[in-house]
Amino acid sequence: MTDFKILIADDEPGTIRVLSEILKSVGKIYFTTHGTHVLELAKNILPDIILLDIEMPDMTGFEICEQIRRDAMFTDTPILFVTAQNGIDQESRALTSGAIDFIHKPPHPVLTKARVSNYLALKRQTDELRMLSMQDGLTNIANRRAFDKALSREWQRACRSGHSLSLIMLDIDFFKSYNDRYGHLAGDDCLRAVANCLARHVKRPSDVVARYGGEELAVLLPGCGLEEAYDIAESIRQEVSRLRIAHAGSTLPSTITVSAGIATTVTLCQNTEICWRKPGGLQSGVPCGLTENNLIKRADRALYTAKNSGRNCVRT
């Protein structure tokens, strides 16, 4: 038994029974007899494949299919129609509404199982490729593409909701000389260890730890204000130095350390601003025409300040 999830929607319980019997060894079966319940149920269970009846009293299979296709959550989820109807018109309408294929009623056990299994295998490959396309190959944390997507999404959300959004940019200190002294393979191990340390440290599901580029790492903290982000960055800095990775070329404690810069959004009177901490309290940035790039620039500038303040420190 695999961990595939199969969602079946049909207003006839008899068809659901037959399909469940055929497919029970292929995956876990979820079902509904109400067309209007399909989208919500799909959002809850995140099925790997959806089998849809075309004729249902409350909503047609075509309408459901189009509704699911509009939702970005289900871009890669195959939808198959299960229908008693034959004919070019029905089939072409079904395929243009976003379904990948057909199963004819009454469902043939061998053909139905083979067809569903094939689409599930394809779905698994797509999931793997999608995951790989968002993951950094060296460190296994989110890559730059995933970071850019997350930042754009969270920036929009912060502007809409008024919640804070914090960004920590971190850079390994004297990493070039680490590579020169210990070799690039040891440098890779070090980068992996530091990335793991960050990933372990950041706990909320909405937080994103990413490799921004080279030996620069980013931590995106939705709903997190400047003070809290500062504490997180400071404790990451301490954790990294506790890894005690020897670095004789460092002028610091002769171990690998990181410097960090932080920026945070605050939304005031529907204007999103970027704030940073100065002695004497919070200061806020230019209020108009800001984009997520301003958050990166501000965090970068703070990182530059950290480097110029002797490294192995956090600046805002």
Rg (CA), the chain: 26
Minimum distance, C-beta of residue 138 to ligand GH3, in the bound complex (Å):
6
- Rank residues 163 and 192 by Cβ distance to Mg ion and give the closer one: 192
In the region spanning residues 4 to 33, those forming contacts with ligand GH3, defined by CB under 6 A, are none
Letters for 274-303 (x = contact with ligand GH3 by CB under 6 A, - = none) are: ------------------------------
What span, in angstroms and rounded, lies between the C-alpha atoms of 67 and 15? 23
- Rank residues 53 and 136 by Cβ distance to Mg ion and give the closer one: 53
55 binds, among ligand GH3, Mg ion, none (CB under 5 to 8 A by kind): Mg ion
What span, in angstroms and rounded, lies between the C-alpha atoms of 64 and 70? 10
Which two three-digit tokens encode residue 271?
């204007």
Minimum distance, C-beta of residue 135 to ligand GH3, in the bound complex (Å):
14
Q: Are 220 and 210 in contact (CB under 8 A)?
A: yes
Closest CA to 232 of 209, 201, 256, 207: 201
What span, in angstroms and rounded, lies between the C-alpha atoms of 277 and 264? 9
In the region spanning residues 207 to 236, those forming contacts with ligand GH3, defined by CB under 6 A, are 214-215
Minimum distance, C-beta of residue 190 to ligand GH3, in the bound complex (Å):
7
Which residues of the chain form contacts with Mg ion (CB under 5 A)? 11, 53, 55, 171-172, 175
Closest CA to 118 of 80, 74, 70: 80
Angle at 124 between CA 122 and CA 130, to 5 degrees: 105
**Does residue 215 have an active-site annotation?**
yes
Longest dimension (CA), the chain: 77
Please tell me which residue in 154, 215, 273, 292 is annotated as part of the active site: 215
What span, in angstroms and rounded, lies between the C-alpha atoms of 220 and 263? 10
Binding of ligand GH3 at residue 242 (CB under 6 A)? Answer: no
Binding of ligand GH3 at residue 173 (CB under 6 A)? Answer: yes
- Rank residues 91 and 300 by Cβ distance to ligand GH3 and give the closer one: 300
Q: Are 57 and 64 in contact (CB under 8 A)?
A: no
168 binds, among Mg ion, ligand GH3, none (CB under 5 to 8 A by kind): none
φ, ψ for residue 219, nearest 5 deg: -125, 120
Minimum distance, C-beta of residue 177 to ligand GH3, in the bound complex (Å):
6
Letters for 127-156 (x = contact with ligand GH3 by CB under 6 A, - = none) are: -----------x------------------
Q: Are 210 and 143 in contact (CB under 8 A)?
A: yes
Angle at 177 between CA 173 and CA 178, to 5 degrees: 75
Contacts of 179 (CB under 8 A, 6+ apart): 186, 187
Nearest residue to ligand GH3, using CB? 187
From 11-19, 98-106, 165-173, 228-236, span contacting ligand GH3 (CB under 6 A): 165-173
In the region spanning residues 178 to 207, those forming contacts with ligand GH3, defined by CB under 6 A, are 179, 184, 187-188, 191
Kindly tell me which residue out of 174, 212, 230, 276 binds ligand GH3, with binding defined by CB under 6 A.
174
Q: Which residues bind ligand GH3 (CB under 6 A)?
A: 138, 171-177, 179, 184, 187-188, 191, 214-215, 307, 311
Q: Which residues are catalytic?
A: 215
